[in-house]
Amino acid sequence: LSHSNIIHAKELLGITSSNYGGTTGLTVNPASIENYPLKWEVNILALDLFVDNNYAYMPNQSLLKLLRTANQTGIEFTESSFAYTSDAIKNKAAYFQFKLQVPSVLLTFDEHRVAFSTTFRTITSANRINYTLPKLIKGEFVLELNNTAIEVPKFRINAMTWAEFGLSYGSTFYKTRD
């Protein structure tokens, strides 16, 4: 039985790491504001939500498809919306990340750029989750809460929440055509 893992070097790819990333690019690369081509940017609100696990997933689904059907019927998730990974992987893992960026400003003065940003972040990860716990969440066990003992083996969960207040400065010292 073989098993492989996917490792993501960076999340938030796309416009975040481009020249137009502005204040949202500060988290990934603080020097990214150096090539920002516009005179100013005011970012009122930015949200990022990322969830990953090796237990359940939604096959053949995309965000655009969900949004298109939401306009017609609303978004509704049922038991049949999800597929579950193999029971052979007994230890499950989950990861959750939430980022809220509130008013941030970037200003350009000739070859100088100054940015101020405020961000709130939460990251939670759990691993070595025995298969008993995901089965409980899925509802595979019908339990009477009175006089019922459920033993869930030890697992690890870590969480952090913090605020970031950033002041960034970027300037070009030497520039060539290349």
Distance CA 178, CA 175 (A): 8
**35 pLDDT higher than 50:** yes
Q: Report pLDDT for 121.
A: 94
User: pLDDT digit string (tens) for 60-81?
Assistant: 777 677 777 776 666 666 656 6
**144 pLDDT higher than 60:** no
Distance CA 117, CA 166 (A): 5
3-state secondary structure (DSSP) of residue 91: strand
Give the CA angle between residues 44, 48, 52 to the nearest 5°.
Answer: 175
Residues with Cβ within 8 Å of residue 157, at least 6 apart in sequence: 124, 125, 126
Distance CA 6, CA 53 (A): 11
Q: Report pLDDT for 178.
A: 75
